[in-house]
Copies of this chain bind each other. A is one copy, B any other.
Amino acid sequence: MHEPADTIRLLVSCPDQKGLVAAITEFVASRGGNILDLDQHTDPDERMFFTRVVIDLADLTVSTDAFAEQWEHVASRFQMTWSTHVASRHRRVAVLVSKMDHCLRELLWRWEAGELPCRIPVVISNHADLEPIVTRRQVAFEHLPITPETKPEQEQQIESLLEQHGVDLVVLARYMQILSPGFVERYANRIINIHHSFLPAFAGARPYHQAYQAGVKIIGATCHYVTATLDAGPIIEQAIARVDHRDTVGDMIRKGKDLERSALLTGVRLHLDDRIIVHQNRTIVFD
Contacts and interface: CB of A to CB of B under 8 A. Distances in A.
Contacts of A33: 18
Main secondary structure of the interface of A (DSSP, over half): mixed
A285 B244 contact: yes
Contact of A25 (B21, B218, B234, B238): B21
A77 interface: no
A248 interface: yes
Interface string A3-21: 1100000000000001111
Interface stretch (A38-46, A81-89, A170-178, A184-192): A38-46
Contact of A282 (B47, B50, B215): B215
A186 to B, nearest CB: 23
A2 B218 contact: no
A33 B20 CA distance: 11
Chain A interface size, under 10 / 10 to 19 / 20 to 34 / 35 or more: 35 or more
A22 interface: yes
A60 to B, nearest CB: 11
Contact of A29 (B22, B28, B59, B215): B22
A201 interface: yes
13 contacts: A1-B248, A21-B38, A22-B29, A22-B35, A23-B29, A25-B25, A39-B39, A41-B246, A45-B248, A198-B201, A200-B202, A216-B238, A245-B284
